[in-house]
């Protein structure tokens, strides 16, 4: 993996992590993250390390989509060019979105992206991540960037991502022979991805319980007839008689203590989702496997978001209209993947993980 660091006299820092070899013209996928001040102030925080960690996660998404041959109609022939990466922007004082120097800071970051493409010979395809919103001039940060750099994608990738999560759960249930209508779904984190999942599950008329810290979102869900718990009630939430758990929060939701609670919950059958950096200790996945809980790594399940960005980028480059409906059709392929892989895992009585079985089956 290559990491490029840009810094100016004002103190703005942009780190670009990519798996693309220099001058390869690869498509480097990964969101443009504007580091929140709370995260930047964490002990030992490093924008380089953030770019590496998140870029590795994106490369995992790319790996699985290539293995399963899942993508939109334009992205499928170009999958060999796709690699994982991440743009991590650490603004100087008053440079975050909504602050007095936000336009100056983002303008400089865009100059860096252009320089990177020219000097490194790699194409940046990026979009929304943490830290975006309305700039001090009343324009959204993504709109501002996309109007000045073609690699910034403004399509709502959350809906295809949530659809991928939904289809994967359907595939698991198909293989397990469970009645979908009788299941209780738990959703940990209900941002844009989680809300798409809620809307799909609500259409199906199934039981849903959500753990969500945002008060406004919680109230909207409650008004819509959804049971909502506050994030302070996470241990209680994980002990509820939930059958399928979707993890779509900000990060590190599946810490060791949470994995132990899930393992002890006899009702939980599947854990999946689309959260980046979900499990601080990756070996904790073994806690779930030993407890015979199907765990689908969130970097596998979250591929549809980056694939949507690829499709949008290629469509614009070819002068063709981008149709997001095609990404929902592509997401349906995850149902078949999940069904076939789950069947083997269950047949082996969890002797191997979902990932190991999928890797062998599709290689």
pLDDT tens across 106-142, in order? 999 999 999 999 999 999 999 878 899 999 999 999 9
Say which DSSP state 20 is in: P
Residue 357 has pLDDT above 90, yes or no: yes
Residue 238 has pLDDT above 80, yes or no: yes
Chain position carrying tokens 């759960």: 169
Name the β-bridge partners of 35. Answer: none
Contacts of 77 (CB under 8 A, 6+ apart): none
Indicate the pTM of the whole model.
0.88
Give pLDDT tens digits for 207-230: 999 999 999 999 999 999 999 999
Contacts of 199 (CB under 8 A, 6+ apart): none
pLDDT band at 302 (very low <50, low <70, confident <90, very high): confident
Inter-residue contact 265 to 239 (CB < 8 Å): yes
Residue 250 has pLDDT above 80, yes or no: no
Alpha carbon distance 65, 193 (integer Å): 19
Mean pLDDT of the region 279-306: 93
pLDDT band at 164 (very low <50, low <70, confident <90, very high): very high
Inter-residue contact 80 to 44 (CB < 8 Å): no
Residue 306 has pLDDT above 90, yes or no: no
Confirm whether 2-65+72-146 and 158-296+335-362 share one CATH topology. yes
Among 161, 200, 11, CA closest to 89: 11
| C-alpha distances out from residue 347 to 135, 290, 295, Å | 53, 15, 16
Q: According to the model, what pLDDT value does residue 335 have?
A: 97
Inter-residue contact 293 to 262 (CB < 8 Å): yes
Say which DSSP state 77 is in: G
* Cα first-last separation, the chain: 23
Q: According to the model, what pLDDT value does residue 48 have?
A: 97
Among 148, 119, 96, 84, CA closest to 4: 119
Mean pLDDT of the region 307-319: 93
CA dihedral 197, 167, 237, 299 (to 10 degrees): -100
Contacts of 15 (CB under 8 A, 6+ apart): 3, 4, 5, 6, 47, 48, 50, 51, 87, 88, 90
* CATH architecture of the domain with range 158-296+335-362: 3-Layer(aba) Sandwich (3.40)
Alpha carbon distance 161, 147 (integer Å): 24
Q: According to the model, what pLDDT value does residue 129 have?
A: 84
Residue 272 has pLDDT above 80, yes or no: yes
HEC states along 269-337?
Answer: CEEEECCCCCCCCHHHHHHHHHCCCEECCHHHHCHHHHHHHHHHHHHHHCCCCCCCHHHHHHHCHHHHH
Environment class of 266 (CB within 10 Å of its CB; exposed 0-12, middle 13-18, buried 19+):
exposed
Of 145 and 303, which is predicted with more confidence?
145
Q: According to the model, what pLDDT value does residue 127 have?
A: 83
Inter-residue contact 166 to 197 (CB < 8 Å): yes
User: Three-class SS of residue 138?
Assistant: coil
Among 145, 117, 120, 114, CA closest to 131: 145
Mean predicted lDDT score pLDDT of the chain: 95
Residue 8 has pLDDT above 80, yes or no: yes
Q: CB neighbours (10 Å) of residue 50?
A: 20
| C-alpha distances out from residue 263 to 29, 117, 243, 268, Å | 34, 46, 12, 8
Domain boundaries, the chain: 2-65+72-146, 158-296+335-362
Give pLDDT tens digits for 332-349: 999 999 999 999 999 999
CATH number for the segment(s) 2-65+72-146: 3.40.50
């Amino acid at each position: 993996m290559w990491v490029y660091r840009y810094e100016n006299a004002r103190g703005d820092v942009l780190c670009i992590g990519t798996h693309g070899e220099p001058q390869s013209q690869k498509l480097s996928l990964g969101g443009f993250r504007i580091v929140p001040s709370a995260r930047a102030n964490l002990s030992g925080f490093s924008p380089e390390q953030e770019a590496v960690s998140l870029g590795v996660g994106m490369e995992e998404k790319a790996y699985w989509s290539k293995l399963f041959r899942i993508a939109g109609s334009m992205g499928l022939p170009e999958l060999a060019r796709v690699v994982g990466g991440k743009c991590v922007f650490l603004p100087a004082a008053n440079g975050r979105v909504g602050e007095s120097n936000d336009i100056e800071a983002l303008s400089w970051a865009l100059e860096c992206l252009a320089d990177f493409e020219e000097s490194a010979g790699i194409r940046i395809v990026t979009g929304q991540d943490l830290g975006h919103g309305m700039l001090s001039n009343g324009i959204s940060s993504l709109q501002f960037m996309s109007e000045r750099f073609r690699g910034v994608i403004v399509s709502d990738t959350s809906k295809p991502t949530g659809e991928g999560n939904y289809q994967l759960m359907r595939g698991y249930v198909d293989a397990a022979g469970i009645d979908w209508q009788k299941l209780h779904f738990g959703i940990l984190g209900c941002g844009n991805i989680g809300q798409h999942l809620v809307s799909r599950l609500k259409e199906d008329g199934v039981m849903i319980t959500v753990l969500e810290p945002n008060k406004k979102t919680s109230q909207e869900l409650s008004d819509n007839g959804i049971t909502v718990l506050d994030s302070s009630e996470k241990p209680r939430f994980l002990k509820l008689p939930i059958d399928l758990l979707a993890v779509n929060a900000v990060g590190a939701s599946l810490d060791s203590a949470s994995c132990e609670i899930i393992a002890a919950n006899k009702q939980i059958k599947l854990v999946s989702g689309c959260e980046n950096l979900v499990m601080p200790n990756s070996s904790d996945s073994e806690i779930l496997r030993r407890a015979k809980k199907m765990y689908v790594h969130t970097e596998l399940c979250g591929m549809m978001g980056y694939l949507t960005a690829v499709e949008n980028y290629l469509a614009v480059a070819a002068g063709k209209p981008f149709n997001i409906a095609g990404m929902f059709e592509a997401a349906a392929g995850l149902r078949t993947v999940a069904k076939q892989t789950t069947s083997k895992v269950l047949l082996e009585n969890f002797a191997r993980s979902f990932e190991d079985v999928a890797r062998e089956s599709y290689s």
